[in-house]
Structure 1
Amino acid sequence: MFINTTGFYVPEERVHNQHFLELNGLTSEWIEQRTGIKTRSKAKSEENINTMGLEAIKNALPNLQYDITDVDLIIAASYSPYDTVATAAHIAQREFNIANAKALYLSSACSSFVNALEVVEGYFAMGKATKALIISADKNSAYYNETDPKAGHLWGDAAAAFFISKERVTEHDARIVEVYTQGLGHLGKGPDGVQLRPRDGGIMMPEGRDVFIQACTYMPKNALYLLEKNGYALDDLTYFIGHQANMRIMSNIAKQLNLPEEKFLHNIEELGNTGSVSSALVYAQNADSFKKGDVVCITVFGGGYSAGACLIEC
């Protein structure tokens, strides 16, 4: 399958590290040293994953080489829904009058976008769809507790839109070589690692150390698995895009794989941990700079636990 075009939306507001000093006693230096984050994006009160998702779609439309009404599958991938009934997929279907599309919502923590790619692959394989739209978005600020010293300072808000087709539409389409996902709820702290309980503390990360260990294990492991399975050497990898949870995780992976810093694409310094959209957002933000023949690997790890990777040839 092929990526036809992408779009993204990032709210204008940035919350600086200094904001948290009075809230939870964490200094800007401490936050940056531990996470790599300097600022994080924050949506307006009237914004949500539905509105941000629509903006991401509009950002993608000028480069879409077919009518959006040709889309026959819409998937909203997120863990922070604005409405659990009228999902972002249904809102997009109505906004753009995509009358002949299936519409659904998918959630698997921070691996939700990669899981959505695999679901699209399944629909394509069954012959039940040929053109798909994935809307990946999270509004963490709707659920976070800024006074939480463990995780209140991590989160950002954003959205991305990916148009994907079963067959190549133009010569500029990037080919998705393979998608691979895992459920890992049986490992480590599993479902206790990260939580989002709207009526009980919001989004929290009580087992951050275990999350760190598992992410440092499975993100590089799955990237290597896809490269080797598909006949690529590690040196063939042009860019590595990991889930934007913590720059220390990226540094750990860089040392494990002995990859130079310039091969890692990231935005966590400015936008914070934008959740399940983070890796998709990095790809979309850099899509115009990818060259034909570039090999890009997206690899993610999410609470629950869950993990996944996607190998792309531009």
Structure 2
Amino acid sequence: MFINTVASYLPEQVITNAYFEQLNGLTDEWIIERTGIRQRRKASSEENTNTMAVMASLKGLESLPYDKNEIDLIVGATYTPYDVIATVAHAVQHAINVPEIPVVSISSACSSLLNAIEIVQGYFAMNKAKRALVVVSEHNTAYNNEDDTKAGHLWGDGAAALFISKERLSDSDWEIKDVITGGAGTIGKAMEGVTLKPLERGLIMPYGKDVFINACTYMPKVSRQVLERNSLDISDISYIIPHQANLRITKNVAGTLQVPEEKMISNIQYLGNTGCAGCAIALDENKTKFQKGEKVVITVFGGGYSYGAMLLEV
């Protein structure tokens, strides 16, 4: 599989840590020390998961090297849906006007990006599609409880779109060499660590320590697995993009994998936790930095204790 184009969308409104200091007394220093977050983006009252996904997709179409009508699969991913019936993927289909193709959505917490790409991999393997659009979008602030001093300050909004083909279409395509995903729902506080119950308190993280420990375990573990499966060593990797959950997790993963922190790509400092969209947004932000032949690993961990890794070659 090959990524032909990647694009992202971020809301204009910026929420700094000063907002939370006024709201519930959490200081800028306290938040930065524990999370690395200095600011985050917040969708406006006119925006939602679907509108952000559409904006990212339309932006991607501007540089797509083929006609949009050649897209024959759309896979959406989010755990913060605007509508659970007419899903984010169907909203994108409606907006870009590509009729009568397979359109599905998936939710596996912050790992949804890689599970969506695995769905594409399956459609390609069965010869049911050749050119797919994966769109990831999170409207965390629609569900977040800002008064929650444990997790209310973590979340940001954003979306990204990846256009993926079964065959290489140009020299500028990135090759998806491998994808591994898994579920660790049987361990620790997997069923309680991060929850989003819309009719209750919304998006909360009552067991942050357990989430932290297992994220720091599974992201290095699955990163090594995807490298070993492709006969590569960590020294062969130019960059690692971890799930944008906590800067301390990123630094811990770097230490476990024994890679310099400058190889770790992070946007949580200025975007907050953007869920399953975070790594894809980081891909778009850094696409001009990557050089031909470089290898990049994306590694993720999410609530319910979903996890995965993907190996890319530029």
TM-score computed with the length of structure 1 as normaliser: 0.98
Q: In the alignment, which residue of structure 2 is the partner of 1:108?
A: 108
Offset from partner CA, 1:135-165 (integer Å, 9 cap, x none): 1000001000111010000000000000001
Structure 2 CA distance for aligned equivalents of residues 100 and 132 of structure 1: 14
Matches within 5 A, 1:43-54: 43-54=43-54
Matches within 5 A, 1:203-218: 203-218=203-218
Q: In the alignment, which residue of structure 1 is the partner of 2:271?
A: 271
Shift, 1:106, TM fit: 0.5
Task: Verify the 8 A CA contact 1:237 1:295 in the aligned structure 2.
Answer: yes
The residue identity in structure 2 corresponding to 1:22 is Q
Offset from partner CA, 1:270-306 (integer Å, 9 cap, x none): 0000011111111111112211101000000000110
1:184 equivalent to 2:170? Answer no
The residue identity in structure 1 corresponding to 2:305 is Y
The residue identity in structure 2 corresponding to 1:64 is L
Give the alignment's Cα RMSD to 1 decimal: 0.9
Q: Is the partner of 1:279 in helix, strand or coil?
A: helix
Structure 1 CA distance for aligned equivalents of residues 264 and 101 of structure 2: 36
Structure 1: tracts of 5 or more residues without a match? none
Of the structure 1 ranges 300-309 and 90-99, higher mean CA displacement relative to structure 2 is found in 90-99
Q: Is the partner of 2:182 in helix, strand or coil?
A: strand
Matches within 5 A, 1:192-207: 192-207=192-207
Structure 1 CA distance for aligned equivalents of residues 211 and 274 of structure 2: 16
The residue identity in structure 1 corresponding to 2:176 is I
Structure 2 CA distance for aligned equivalents of residues 275 and 28 of structure 1: 22
1:255 equivalent to 2:251? Answer no
Q: Is the partner of 1:76 in helix, strand or coil?
A: strand
The residue identity in structure 1 corresponding to 2:266 is H
Matches within 5 A, 1:6-155: 6-155=6-155
Task: Verify the 8 A CA contact 1:23 1:147 in the aligned structure 2.
Answer: yes
Structure 2: tracts of 5 or more residues without a match? none
Q: Is the partner of 2:269 in helix, strand or coil?
A: helix
Offset from partner CA, 1:149-183 (integer Å, 9 cap, x none): 10000000000000001111111110000000001
Aligned residue pairs, count: 314
Shift, 1:23, TM fit: 2.2
Task: Verify the 8 A CA contact 1:181 1:309 in the aligned structure 2.
Answer: yes
Structure 1 CA distance for aligned equivalents of residues 20 and 95 of structure 2: 38
Task: Verify the 8 A CA contact 1:69 1:96 in the aligned structure 2.
Answer: no
The percent of aligned pairs where both chains have the same amino acid is 53
Q: In the alignment, which residue of structure 1 is the partner of 2:225?
A: 225
Structure 2 CA distance for aligned equivalents of residues 228 and 185 of structure 1: 24
